Amino acid sequence: MILALLDPTPGPLTATAMIASVVLCSTAGEVLTAAAMKSIGDLDDIRAHSGLKGAIRAVVTCPRFFAGVGFLALAFFSLLFALNHLNLSLVAPASASLTLVTNAIAGKIFLKENVDRRRWTAAVLVCIGVYLLAH
Amino acid sequence: MKNLPAISLAHPGALIATLIGAVFTPWVAAGIVLLIGFFASYLTALSWADLTFVLPATAFGNVIVALLSRFWLHEPISAARWAGILLITLGVGFVAQGPSRTEIPVEVDSSPQVVAK
């Protein structure tokens, strides 16, 4: 229904909104999943202490983990929706490379990670590299 | 998935039957098992390292895919893609040199304490 209402050839603004929704959902998912895993603690230690079942129980009883997985699923469906309207050669490199930069910003703001010059350089190099590889 | 018959949205019953059948196809089943393995390893890495360390490091998978495409599937790789491979490798090398986790210092109360006697 929604697909039928949309213009078959989306303009630059609609295309930007589609790619932005993929990037934002993906970033939210990654940050929530990372926050969940940090709150749980080192899985290797948990597995050594209470076995594989204990490690799985620790992950599946964390509500933040499911929020993260929900956003990652939303990002996947947004990607499918964007691919339904835009070219793969635009959506794949743009979303994959932009996600790296937004994750570096979100990691610094929300997870209080120490994103120093080394990590910024790595994020930008990998961002350009993924763009070139996927284009 | 390309070995399976064409999937049509016109017949939902046949669509579900084809997708359930696809899960038990050896190649698709192997793909699902490997993806579960990837996600478990990814979560374990996130439990002891920063997101800004893990994400650029896992991007090295793109390089492995490109090299497998070149040498196993004999697909051509353009100069721009070789440049991409080089940049990702450099980026992963950069991030791997640094610490994997941000250590947040524990605040120690340095104010003089009055010892009750």
Nearest to B53 by CA among B95, B91, B103, B90: B95
With a CB cutoff of 8 Å and minimum separation 6, the contacts of B32 are B23
Q: A8 pLDDT band (50/70/90 cuts)?
A: low
CB A6 within 8 A of CB A85: yes
pLDDT number for residue A28:
96
Cβ of A126 within 8 Å of Cβ of B102? The answer is no
pLDDT number for residue A22:
95
Query: Which member of B55, B81, B95 has the closest CB to residue A118?
Result: B95
CB proximity under 8 Å: A 83-122 to B: 100, 103-104, 107-108, 111-116, 118-119, 121-122
Which of A18-22, A44-48, A49-53, B9-13 tops mean pLDDT? A18-22
pLDDT number for residue A7:
52
Cβ of B44 within 8 Å of Cβ of A114? The answer is no
Give chain B positions within 8 Å (CB) of A126: 56, 59, 87-88, 91-92
Distance from CA of A37 to the nearest CA of B (A): 5
- For residue B86, give the 3-state DSSP assignment: helix
pLDDT number for residue B108:
57
With a CB cutoff of 8 Å and minimum separation 6, the contacts of A111 are A31, A34, A35, A38, B50, B51
- For residue A87, give the 3-state DSSP assignment: coil
- For residue A28, give the 3-state DSSP assignment: helix
DSSP-derived letter for residue B60 is H
pLDDT over 90, % of chain B: 26
ipTM, interface predicted TM-score of the complex: 0.82
Q: Which is it for the CA torsion A129, A132, A133, B3, positive or negative?
A: positive
CA closest to A110 among chain B residues: B51
Distance from CA of A7 to the nearest CA of B (A): 22
Distance from CA of A132 to the nearest CA of B (A): 5
**A64-68, long-range: CB < 8 A, 24+ apart:** A64/A32, A64/A35, A64/A36, A64/A39, A65/A32, A65/A33, A65/A36, A65/A37, A65/A40, A67/A32, A67/A36, A68/A28, A68/A29, A68/A30, A68/A31, A68/A32, A68/A33, A68/A34, A68/A35, A68/A36
Query: Which member of A103, A114, A133 has the closest CB to residue B84?
Result: A133
Per-residue pLDDT tens digits for A15-31:
899 999 999 999 999 99
Cβ of A130 within 8 Å of Cβ of B59? The answer is yes
The amino acid at residue A94 is A
B21, pLDDT greater than 70: yes
pLDDT number for residue B115:
47
Count of pairs with CB atoms under 8 A, one residue in A, one in B: 116
pLDDT number for residue A72:
95
Q: What is the pTM of this model?
A: 0.79
- Rounded Cα distance between A47 and B43, Å, is 13
Q: B15 pLDDT band (50/70/90 cuts)?
A: confident
* Mean pLDDT, residues A4-24 taken together: 80
CA closest to B92 among chain A residues: A122
Per-residue pLDDT tens digits for B82-101:
999 999 999 988 888 888 88
**Range in A12-26, A29-43, B14-28, B87-101 with the lowest mean pLDDT:** B14-28
